[in-house]
Amino acid sequence: MIKKFSLLFVSLVVIGLLAACSPSAAPGAETSRTMSVYGVGRVTIVPDMATINIGVRTESEAVADALEGNTAQANAIARVLKTMGIEEKDIQTSNFNIYPSERYDPMTGQVQGRFFVVENTVNVTVRDLTSLGEVLNAVVEAGANSIYGISFNVEDRAAAVAEARQLAIEDAKAKANDIAAAAGVELGEINFISVYEGSVPFTYYDAKGGALAVEAEVPIAAGTLSITMEANLTYSIK
């Protein structure tokens, strides 16, 4: 009985010591207070390059004929691009497909015949935007029958990204100061920073006149490009 009582007493002493050493039990302990803010910075620049997705689609009942016709058109487009000053490194195949398909009678829905489709798509980078409309007309005339889209960008984005990043941090700091003043608290040090690029650069352009026509140069307006950076800052509150 004495032995059991001793073990119980020792156990209670150990538990008491652990509780006394626990941070939650320490007198005057305070929970750290923080405030997180979000900032955004945008820089508008004029793009100096464009990427075009150019496609060639051919059909034939024999796969060899469909492939031969597609290769001939693709080679003709590549030759035209090179004569217009587009470097070989700026012409890159992005998609190549060969697949069977069927023709159906619109009245009965019955299969009328089978054929093969060959699709070849290349990404072309145009670094002289003044020639963009001329390039579009030339590739259509050479055999391109699909233009999937035009995206604009800048070759050197480093300076614009750095400026947008600085603006995002300054915006977050200003918001933090305003919130702290309104709440009647004093900001401490920044203990967390996260800065990242926002949405993908995006531009609007105009292509008037409907379908691409080889008789007249397609008018293209590059517009402006917006680069966005976002910042998250976390302050300690004194």
Domain of residue 86, CATH code: 3.30.70.2970
Q: Name the pLDDT band for 236 (thresholds 50, 70, 90).
A: very high
Q: Does the structure show a pLDDT above 80 at 89?
A: yes
Whether residues 111 and 81 fall in one domain: yes
Closest CA to 195 of 37, 34, 33, 35: 37
- Cα–Cα distance measured from residue 229 to residue 194, given in angstroms and rounded to the nearest whole number: 11
DSSP 200: P
What is the count of structural domains for the chain?
Answer: 2
User: 13 versus 231: which is more confidently predicted?
Assistant: 231
pLDDT of residue 6: 45
For the cut 80, the answer to whether the pLDDT of residue 12 exceeds it is no
* Same domain as 169, residue 137: no
Helix extents (H) in the chain? 2-21, 63-83, 132-142, 158-183
Asked whether residue 202 carries a pLDDT value surpassing 80, the answer given is no
In a domain, residue 12? The reply is no
Cβ neighbourhood burial of 120 (10 Å; 0-12, 13-18, 19+): buried
- Confidence (pTM): 0.61
> Are the C-beta atoms of 57 and 81 separated by less than 8 Å?
no
Token digits of residue 178? 């305003």
Mean pLDDT of 167-191: 95
pLDDT of residue 31: 66
Could you list the residue range(s) of the whole structural domain that residue 118 is in? 49-153
How far is C-alpha 60 from the geometric centre of its chain's CA atoms? 37
pLDDT digits (tens, 9 = 90+) for 113-171: 889 999 999 999 999 988 998 999 999 999 998 888 788 888 888 999 999 999 999 99
pLDDT computed for residue 53 by the predictor: 93
Q: Which of 153, 183, 198 is the last residue of a domain?
A: 153
Specify if 86 maps to a domain: yes
Same structural domain, 41 and 55: no
Q: Averaged over 11-15, what is the pLDDT?
A: 37
First to last CA, the chain: 56
Q: Residue 130 falls within a domain, yes or no?
A: yes
Of 153, 170, 200, which closes a domain? 153
CATH assignment at residue 161: 3.30.110.170
Give the residue carrying structure tokens 């680069």.
227
Residue that terminates a domain, selected from 153, 184, 212: 153
Q: What is the mean pLDDT of residues 160-185?
A: 96
Decide if pLDDT at 219 tops 80. Answer: no
Residues 14-72 have pLDDT tens digits of: 334 334 444 444 444 456 899 999 999 999 998 999 999 999 999 999 999 999 999 99
Whether 178 has a pLDDT exceeding 50, the answer reads yes
Are 41 and 61 members of one domain?
no
